[in-house]
Amino acid sequence: VGGVVTADSLREGARVKRGPDWKWGQQDGHGEGVIIGTSPAGWARVKWDWSGETHAYRVGQKDAYDLVFVETKSQVCRLSWLQQAFDE
């Protein structure tokens, strides 16, 4: 949760934002998007919330990672519950 998107962790419908190797200017509008598919090996296709545009981004191609997963409220609540269960 919240980690770098890789070819192995890639899943359609996942929420993402720009990652550590981002080099695509303002394509994301500094916001979030959703993975809508894969492109050639090592690439993911994302649809951005702010513009509705879709573009392909590196998820391991040439050892570069343009995307990270976005934590949703339900994921944060689930993680909080699990942490409490282990702390008891």
SS3 content of the chain, % helix, strand, coil (to 5): 20, 30, 50
Residue 18 is predicted with a pLDDT of 96
Measured CA distances, 83 to 2, 3, 77 (Å): 16, 18, 10
Residue 39 is predicted with a pLDDT of 75
Residue 87 is predicted with a pLDDT of 67
Residue 41 is predicted with a pLDDT of 84
Residue 76 is predicted with a pLDDT of 47
Residue 2 is predicted with a pLDDT of 75
Give mean pLDDT in consecutive 10-residue pieces for the chain, a chain of 88 residues.
87 95 96 90 94 96 95 56 61
Question: By the 8 A CB rule, do 29 and 51 touch?
Answer: yes
